[in-house]
């Protein structure tokens, strides 16, 4: 009987839960420059393995207060084939933090300084579309962007045992925005 493809790999949070202070700061234009710098590093490391790269998350939305962490969406054909990108990203200075085979084969790498997160997904991932839909809606709807900033500021005042719990606390808002964005983009019936 053959092993499951990921049975010998550590899955979930590599290194376990981490308690970190949630600090929301006003949007900074240098976040664009940081994205471009890291996008170039990722492109140089992965070459043709990289099928697309996008700035996502709050730092990608001008005017949106955010944690000062740059989120990057790196699209590869098959994230389960770590042999095509894992060593290259590690050599470029990124550490594997998350391995989630059940979540569209998601992998997340970060800088040692923890100020850049690289989310690896496949090209046909529903999550890629959700990230981009959410980002684009916030870019085009200042009222929703400001409501999201207020929610994040409010949540940042709580003492979170884990960054993931903070992220989960935003889920209902994010899902609502994605539903609105899909309705807006739906063709008239």
Residue 140 CA to its chain's centroid (Å)? 20
In the beta sheet, which residues pair with residue 50?
A: 76
55 inside domain: yes
Which pLDDT score, from 0 to 100, does residue 9 have?
60
7 inside domain: no
pLDDT digits (tens, 9 = 90+) for 48-82: 999 999 999 999 999 999 999 999 999 999 999 99
Report the DSSP pairing between strands 106-110 and 116-122: antiparallel
Determine contact, residues 117/70, Cβ cutoff 8 Å.
Answer: yes
Q: What domain count does the chain have?
A: 1
141 inside domain: yes
Cα four-point dihedral sign 129, 135, 136, 138? positive
Closest CA to 170 of 69, 85, 43, 57: 57
- pLDDT tops 70 at residue 189: no
54 inside domain: yes
Average pLDDT for residues 83-106, to the nearest whole number?
A: 96
101 inside domain: yes
146 inside domain: yes
Query: What is the reported pTM?
Result: 0.90
Structural domain for 72, as ranges = 19-185
Record the tokens describing residue 29, joined without a space: 């234009």
Average pLDDT, the chain: 91
Which pLDDT score, from 0 to 100, does residue 99 have?
95
Using 50, 70 and 90 to split pLDDT, how confident is the model at 11? low
- Tell me, what CATH number does 39's domain have? 3.30.460.10
In the beta sheet, which residues pair with residue 56?
A: 71
As a whole number of angstroms, the distance between CA 132 and CA 150 comes to 21
149 inside domain: yes
Which pLDDT score, from 0 to 100, does residue 183 have?
92
6 inside domain: no
Which pLDDT score, from 0 to 100, does residue 186 have?
65
């Amino acid at each position: 009987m053959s092993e499951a493809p990921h049975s010998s790999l550590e899955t979930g949070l590599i290194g376990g839960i981490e308690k970190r202070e949630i600090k929301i700061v006003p949007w900074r234009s240098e976040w664009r420059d940081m994205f471009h710098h890291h996008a170039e590093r990722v492109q140089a490391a992965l070459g043709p393995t990289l099928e697309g790269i996008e700035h996502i998350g709050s730092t990608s939305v001008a005017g949106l207060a955010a944690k000062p962490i740059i989120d990057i969406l790196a699209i590869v054909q098959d994230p389960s084939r770590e042999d095509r990108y894992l060593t290259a990203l590690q050599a470029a200075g990124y550490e594997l933090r998350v391995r989630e085979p059940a979540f569209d084969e998601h992998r997340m790498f970060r800088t040692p300084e923890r100020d850049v997160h690289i989310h690896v997904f496949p090209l046909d991932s529903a999550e890629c579309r959700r990230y981009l839909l959410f980002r684009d809606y916030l870019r085009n709807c200042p009222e929703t962007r400001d409501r999201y900033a207020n929610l994040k500021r409010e949540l940042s005042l709580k003492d979170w045992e884990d960054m993931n719990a903070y992220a989960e606390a935003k889920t209902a808002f994010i899902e609502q925005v994605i539903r609105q964005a899909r309705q807006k983009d739906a063709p008239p019936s």
